[in-house]
Amino acid sequence: MEWLKKAADQGHEIALTNVGMLYYQGHGVLQDHDKALEMQKQALGRLVVIQERIQAILTQTCDLHEYPIPRLFIILPKETNLTNLFQFRLYFLCECGEHAKVLNGDDTNIQLQHHIHIAKHEGYDLQRPTEFFQKYGRYMLTLLQMIKYGSTIAGYFTPSLSAVNVSGANGMLTNSQDIITPSAINRSIEYLQSLPSDQQDAAKVTNKDSFAGQGAVEGADLHHLEAFIKRKDQDQALGNLYRTITDEGHVKWICIKHYRLANKEQDQQAFVTAVGLTGGHYNPCLGRVTVSLRSRKQAAGFFKALAKARRVDELVVTFDWKGTMSGLEKFGQTLENAAISILRLDFQRFRTLLASKLESTNALKQALSHSIDLPSMKKIHIILPMDLFELSSLQPKRLSFPPKFSIELVPRQGGFNLGEEELQTLAETLKTNSPLITLDLNSNPIGSNGAVTPSEALKFKLTTLNLYGNSIGDNGAVALSEALKTNSTLTTLSLYGQWIGDNGSVALSEALKTNSTLTTLSFYGNSIGDKGAVALSEALGTNSTLTTLSLYGDSIGDRGAVALSEALKTNSTLTTLSLTGTWIGDKGAVALSEALKINLTLITLNLYSESIRKNEAMVLS
């Protein structure tokens, strides 16, 4: 009986052990299950963030009509160079969606699938790839994830790669080459996510607030994208895509197949031929017509052709003939029926047959006032000669969704200078919230007192100011510098031949320390010496927007060159520097060569000087 009791006890222990093992195994299974659920929850959370980022990009429509470049693009590895996995090409995406089905009111090609896909193009090699990934890494990562996981947002459909086999994915997503494999997408995503923080624009950030709203497109900085692309097809739109504008005024870039679906080619070809007969040019990729009208007969023929056009989104017209009131009215009527979205008009060489200047100005004002208020207009830019400066006060009267409207004042070909009275009138006009963005006072002798007028202009929307040959001197430069300290729009300032010396350049340098918009500054042919160059060097140490600086013909000498060299060692934005004819000698050349060993952003240095010996010149080469 003892052995029976002992066996029973042993059996009990074994049973308890087995129960314990089962418990711990079961507990482990539960833990693994909980862990799997948590991982699944995190994965779903990441997908939600990715979809929100995709939505932020695809629904962004603010001012996209300004960009003559497709907005959706990704990178894929170069399959021809498998030894280097970190070489990529850029590819643009066709924005095919629901809008592509209804542009022409019908969809007879049922085999043509309406979803985002890679455009039929061989792709583009990249230049300055490190800077490129820094600017666009996060943006492209989101679009690559859109292709990998798929999305259905705002009328756009993108099938996920996992939903189809590789050959199916190639057919659905590329319509071009066999490059869109899951492997290619994954390698591109992994590369962007692996970049160190100083080489990519937060590609690994998953905080949903970091990539929402307008920043989704603004962060991509589309204005500068072309600078990073090595192009062979300069006369074509990028990616062989075609720009279209929907009924809501939104820009979409679509491939040739969807473009042909939306436009009846036979009718459009007749229009292209008619435009060619009037000396114009039609760009189908942009829907842009460019023409210079030199006679009433030519203008009448062009207006007739334009009235029959099926698709003109952008119209660029140079008026180079003596017009009449009836001609201006006919042009206005043609615009009314053409549904044009982007309008650029150049009246620099326009003259009228009307009896007086006042009558011709009023006639042109009446015609323009009607055109800028047409409901189809999204963006209008008008170039006016200086004698029509009174028209710079034009404003759209449309209160709901007014167009983006801008005016450029340029010298009249054949000569016209603003006198003191006209300058005062212009200054008063600028105070009325004028749409003037470019003021070109080339060779208009305004002097230092007249510099007050362009200084007033800097208080408003001006983006470009040219004071070539106006002799404003140091006093005028001081007035400009005060305006620059608070200006937030000017990007280009030309002060060619202004008799500006060290005092004026010191004042402008102080303004550069706080100004955050100016990108191009020319002091060509002034009297700036080494003192002024030292002041400019100090400004370059803090300024983070200036990319082009010209001191051509200014006697800055070795001292000025040494000071600029020190600034170049820390400046990371300047890309072009012109120092030709600045009396720089050997010492200055050596200092510049040392700076160039450290500076990684300066691309162009113009430096021709008879004071630099051959050996020092070789150091710079």
**CB atoms inside a 10 Å sphere around CB 621:** 5
Q: Is residue 422 part of a domain?
A: no
Cβ–Cβ under 8 Å, residues 476 and 498: yes
Confidence of residue 152 (pLDDT cuts 50, 70, 90): confident
* Domain end position, chosen among 365, 388, 416: 416
- Residue 412 DSSP label: P
Q: Is residue 465 part of a domain?
A: no
The answer, yes or no, to whether residue 500 has pLDDT greater than 80, is yes
Q: Is residue 503 part of a domain?
A: no
Give pLDDT, residue 12. Answer: 53
Q: Is residue 616 part of a domain?
A: no
Number of domains in the chain: 2
**CB atoms inside a 10 Å sphere around CB 171:** 15
The answer, yes or no, to whether residue 22 has pLDDT greater than 60, is no
Instruction: Verify that 285 and 240 share a domain, yes or no.
Output: no
Cβ–Cβ under 8 Å, residues 414 and 391: no
Instruction: Verify that 83 and 114 share a domain, yes or no.
Output: yes
Cα–Cα nearest to 185, from 141, 229, 227 = 141
Instruction: Verify that 101 and 191 share a domain, yes or no.
Output: yes
Instruction: Verify that 246 and 310 share a domain, yes or no.
Output: no
* Domain end position, chosen among 229, 254, 279: 254
Instruction: Verify that 75 and 121 share a domain, yes or no.
Output: yes
In terms of Cβ atoms closer than 10 Å to its own Cβ (0-12, 13-18, 19+), residue 33 is: exposed
Dihedral angle over CA of 255, 259, 261, 264, nearest 10: -150
Dihedral angle over CA of 578, 580, 585, 591, nearest 10: 10
Of these ranges, 107-121, 350-364, 383-397, 556-570, the one predicted with the greatest mean pLDDT is: 556-570
Taking residues 57-67, what's their average pLDDT?
67
Give pLDDT, residue 197. Answer: 62
Cβ–Cβ under 8 Å, residues 75 and 90: yes
Convert the pLDDT of each residue in 298-332 to its tens digit.
988 898 888 878 788 899 999 998 877 788 888 88
Instruction: Verify that 334 and 362 share a domain, yes or no.
Output: yes
Cβ–Cβ under 8 Å, residues 542 and 516: no
What are the structure tokens assigned to 127, written together? 């230049």
- Least confident range from 240-254, 364-378, 476-490, 601-615: namely 601-615
Instruction: Verify that 204 and 301 share a domain, yes or no.
Output: no
Give pLDDT, residue 64. Answer: 52
In terms of Cβ atoms closer than 10 Å to its own Cβ (0-12, 13-18, 19+), residue 596 is: middle
The answer, yes or no, to whether residue 359 has pLDDT greater than 80, is no
What are the structure tokens assigned to 595, written together? 């700076």
Cβ–Cβ under 8 Å, residues 454 and 440: no
Q: Is residue 16 part of a domain?
A: no
Instruction: Verify that 232 and 301 share a domain, yes or no.
Output: no
Instruction: Verify that 226 and 323 share a domain, yes or no.
Output: no
Give pLDDT, residue 54. Answer: 87
CA distance 299 to 330: 10
Mean pLDDT of the residues in the chain? 79
- Least confident range from 71-75, 221-225, 466-470: namely 221-225
Cα–Cα nearest to 124, from 197, 191, 70 = 70
The answer, yes or no, to whether residue 167 has pLDDT greater than 50, is no
* Per-residue CA distances from 131 to 188, 199, 483, 544, 602 (Å): 17, 7, 33, 16, 13
Q: Is residue 458 part of a domain?
A: no
Top pLDDT among 433 and 70 is at 70
Cα–Cα nearest to 546, from 619, 476, 602, 465 = 602
In the chain, the largest separation of any two C-alpha atoms, in whole Å, equals 137
* Per-residue CA distances from 332 to 180, 306, 313, 337, 589 (Å): 48, 12, 16, 9, 59
Instruction: Verify that 87 and 127 share a domain, yes or no.
Output: yes
Instruction: Verify that 351 and 227 share a domain, yes or no.
Output: no
Q: Is residue 247 part of a domain?
A: yes
- Least confident range from 108-117, 450-459, 574-583: namely 108-117
- Least confident range from 389-398, 523-532, 548-557, 591-600: namely 389-398
Q: Is residue 94 part of a domain?
A: yes
Percent of residues, the chain, with pLDDT higher than 70: 74
* Domain end position, chosen among 254, 278, 312: 254
Bridge partners (DSSP) of residue 578 are 550, 606
What CATH number has the domain bearing residue 316? 3.80.10
Handedness of CA 420, 426, 427, 428 (dihedral sign): positive
3-state secondary structure of 374: coil
* Per-residue CA distances from 614 to 47, 219, 345, 610 (Å): 62, 46, 51, 10
The pairing of strands 73-77 and 548-550 is unpaired
Cα–Cα nearest to 296, from 333, 328, 271, 274 = 328
Instruction: Verify that 270 and 318 share a domain, yes or no.
Output: yes
275: containing domain: 264-416
